[in-house]
């Protein structure tokens, strides 16, 4: 960690040495990491109801999809800003404030009567999520080391994958009463804001002087690969139901079962990360080609599948690869970053990941138009993933060893 003179630190700085952290802190940070998923998928089942409720309002066809996608765009644009604030102000303070904002603006559609105002509230949800995601990932990097840190990063992916299935089901069930009802779930941010100051202690001193510089040039390759990884990761999530529809599956129960199986495969891939990384002498980066290759091979299977079992097999392989991919990307990107730069580095990584996720459906749609259908578009994404795997397998970049 970079040295600092006494005058560069606030009087509010915590005692020297990192605070102790255990299972309660890990569980809280992993649970809070799922809030970005809640923001992304909770209202997916109620979009038709929103469209009916605001029928006749100008720009309806454009505004309704934005209620779902604008939070991811806000995260991609503002996570680097959140990272800088995190390094300047402190992780715990920013996380607490972000959770309060999340709860306030997340529940705002309960009483908003104009669709543009709801879209604006969704953009503010994205700002809050940028703070929550950046803080949670930064704190995991601060409070845990080595294999424990790897397990926490893997658990983040497991929790977010499983929560996506749970939140979609919850959104659909709650919307059966009224399309506004699912928005009450955002109030969980208030609970998080109460628990964070109780369970977490600030791991770094709050700075009043200049922040130590962040080596963005050294992060360029990991961030670029993370952007591509975001596209690959989100492709099975977004396109699986459309791929099933293409082969004639109309049963919502079948679509839900296949999606749930893919989520389980994602969890299996993520859960394997800590064990696989433990046996690597050069860090986790050698697992990147494996993750991209699995994702690419699985997407080829999805693209070529003509039956539900074949499509399920392809989706399971692809999802296992993407489950492994996220914690590998995260540990690779942040592996050479010191504590006082970690917030900014995490912000840029979060921006790259969510930027890829935001671009994913637009890219697949464009490729389908150009190449003649969804199978060709999925095959193109698969080829790109396999090409990245090949390049990463050949190009030997030194492992980024973690500095604390």
pTM of structure: 0.84
CB 318 within 8 A of CB 400: no
Supply 328's token pair: 């590998």
**Residue 3 in this model has a pLDDT that exceeds 60:** no
Task: Give the start-to-end residue ranges of the domains of the chain.
Answer: 22-199, 216-394
The whole-angstrom separation of Cα 349 and Cα 346 is 5
**Residue 366 in this model has a pLDDT that exceeds 60:** yes
Residues 6+ apart with CB under 8 A from 26: 140, 144, 148, 152, 155
Burial of residue 253, with CB atoms counted within 10 A of its CB: 0-12 exposed, 13-18 middle, 19 or more buried: exposed
End-to-end alpha carbon distance in the chain? 6
Residue 396's pLDDT is: 64
Q: May I ask the CATH class of domain 22-199?
A: mainly alpha
Beta partners for residue 99, in sequence order = none
CB 324 within 8 A of CB 294: yes
Q: What are phi and psi of 2, to 5 degrees?
A: -65, 140
CA distances (Å), origin 390, targets 34, 73, 79, 219, 281: 32, 30, 30, 20, 21
The whole-angstrom separation of Cα 244 and Cα 310 is 11
* Sign of the torsion angle spanned by Cα atoms 401, 141, 33, 63: negative
Residue 78's pLDDT is: 92
The whole-angstrom separation of Cα 38 and Cα 15 is 35
The whole-angstrom separation of Cα 385 and Cα 33 is 26
Q: What is the pLDDT of residues 49-67, one digit of tens each?
A: 888 888 888 888 778 878 8
DSSP letters along 225-286, please? HHHHHHHHHHHHHHHHHHHHHHTT---HHHHHHHHHHHHHHHHHHHHHHHHHHHT-TT-STT
Supply 210's token pair: 């200049």
**Residue 41 in this model has a pLDDT that exceeds 90:** no
Closest CA to 34 of 181, 141, 251, 186: 186
**Residue 241 in this model has a pLDDT that exceeds 70:** yes
Lowest mean per-residue pLDDT among 159-163, 297-301, 310-314: 159-163
The whole-angstrom separation of Cα 102 and Cα 237 is 24
Lowest mean per-residue pLDDT among 40-44, 98-102, 152-156: 40-44
Architecture of domain 216-394: Up-down Bundle (1.20)
CB half-sphere exposure, 212, CA atoms < 13 A: 17
The whole-angstrom separation of Cα 64 and Cα 119 is 8
Supply 325's token pair: 């991919």
216-394 shares the fold of 22-199: yes
Beta strands in 134-214 (DSSP E): none
Residue 401's pLDDT is: 47
Q: What is the pLDDT of residues 242-263, one digit of tens each?
A: 888 888 887 777 877 888 888 8
**Residue 157 in this model has a pLDDT that exceeds 80:** yes
Residue 279's pLDDT is: 63
| pLDDT, average across residues 377-395 | 93
Exposed e or buried b per residue across 32-53, where buried means at least 16 C-beta atoms within 10 angstroms of its C-beta: bbbbbbbbbbbbebbbebbbee
Confidence of residue 337 (pLDDT cuts 50, 70, 90): confident
In the block, residue with structure tokens 């080391």: 145
Q: What is the pLDDT of residues 95-111, one digit of tens each?
A: 999 999 999 999 999 99
The whole-angstrom separation of Cα 102 and Cα 98 is 6
DSSP letters along 297-329, please? HHHHHHHH--SHHHHHHHHHHHHHHHHHHHHHH
Share of the chain above pLDDT 70, in %: 90
Beta partners for residue 9, in sequence order = 207
- How does the average pLDDT of the chain come out, rounded? 84
């Amino acid at each position: 960690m970079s040295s600092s003179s006494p005058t560069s630190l606030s009087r509010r700085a915590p005692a020297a040495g990192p605070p102790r952290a255990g299972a309660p802190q890990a569980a809280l940070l992993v649970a809070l990491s799922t809030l970005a998923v809640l923001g992304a998928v909770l209202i997916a089942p109620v979009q038709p109801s929103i469209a009916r409720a605001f029928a006749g309002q100008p720009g309806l066809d454009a505004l309704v999809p934005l209620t779902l996608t604008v939070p991811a765009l806000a995260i991609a644009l503002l996570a680097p800003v959140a990272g800088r604030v995190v390094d300047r102000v402190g992780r715990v303070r920013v996380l607490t404030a972000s959770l309060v904002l999340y709860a306030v603006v997340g529940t705002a559609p309960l009483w908003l009567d104009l669709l543009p105002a709801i879209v604006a509230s969704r953009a503010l949800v994205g700002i809050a999520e940028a703070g929550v995601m950046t803080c949670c990932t930064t704190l995991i990097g601060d409070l845990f080391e080595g294999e424990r840190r790897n397990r926490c990063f893997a658990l983040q992916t497991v929790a977010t994958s499983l929560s996506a299935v749970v939140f979609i089901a919850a959104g659909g069930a709650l919307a059966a009463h009224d399309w506004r009802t699912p928005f009450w779930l955002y109030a969980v941010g208030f609970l998080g804001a109460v628990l964070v100051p109780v369970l977490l202690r600030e791991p770094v001193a709050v700075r009043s002087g200049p922040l130590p510089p962040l080596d963005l040039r050294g992060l360029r390759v990991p961030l670029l690969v993370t952007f591509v990884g975001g596209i690959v990761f989100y492709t099975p999530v977004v396109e699986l139901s459309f791929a099933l529809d293409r082969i004639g599956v109309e049963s919502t129960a079948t679509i839900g079962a296949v999606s749930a199986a893919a989520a389980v495969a994602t969890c299996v891939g993520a859960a394997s990360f800590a064990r696989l990384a433990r046996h690597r002498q050069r860090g986790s980066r050698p697992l990147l080609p494996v993750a991209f290759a699995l994702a690419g091979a699985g997407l080829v299977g999805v693209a070529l599948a003509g039956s539900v079992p074949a499509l399920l097999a392809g989706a399971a392989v692809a999802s296992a690869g993407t489950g492994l991919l996220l914690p590998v990307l995260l540990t690779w990107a942040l592996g050479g970053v010191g504590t006082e730069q970690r917030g900014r580095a995490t912000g840029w990584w979060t921006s790259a990941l969510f930027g890829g996720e935001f671009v994913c459906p637009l890219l697949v749609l464009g490729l389908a138009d150009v190449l003649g259908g969804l199978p060709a578009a999925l095959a193109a994404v698969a080829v790109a993933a396999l090409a990245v795997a090949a390049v990463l397998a050949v190009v030997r970049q030194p492992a980024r060893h973690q500095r604390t």
